[in-house]
Amino acid sequence: MMVSVDEKKLVDGFRELGFNWKTARQLAKLVLHLSGEKPLGKWELERWQRLNVLDENGDLIVGEDEDVADSYFWIMIGLTWEGLVKRCVKGG
């Protein structure tokens, strides 16, 4: 059974990590895409791919030293979206 993810709760959670509303919304949309609940728009998918967050199939790229359950991972993904860091994935 698939559990529905509430976009507003996701946005609120990313806001608690310190992101502005626009970035928090993009992170929420990414999570909804990854959960299969809501596909990303074409430009969002292409941007996440250019940022080395999603592969050519739209799947999350996770390095061998990364843990998606860690909030630090999502902070780095958000900073990548904002253009503040460049993502280099080790073994991903």
Contact between residue 30 and residue 53 where contact means Cβ atoms under 8 Å apart: yes
Q: What is the pTM of this model?
A: 0.90
18-53 tens-digit pLDDT: 999 999 999 999 999 999 999 999 999 999 999 999
Rounded distance between C-alpha atoms, residue 75 and residue 12, angstroms: 14
Rounded distance between C-alpha atoms, residue 70 and residue 77, angstroms: 11
Rounded distance between C-alpha atoms, residue 50 and residue 52, angstroms: 5
Rounded distance between C-alpha atoms, residue 63 and residue 89, angstroms: 5
User: What confidence score (pLDDT) does residue 11 get?
Assistant: 94
Model confidence band, residue 79 (pLDDT cutoffs 50, 70, 90): very high
| Average pLDDT over the chain, rounded to an integer | 92
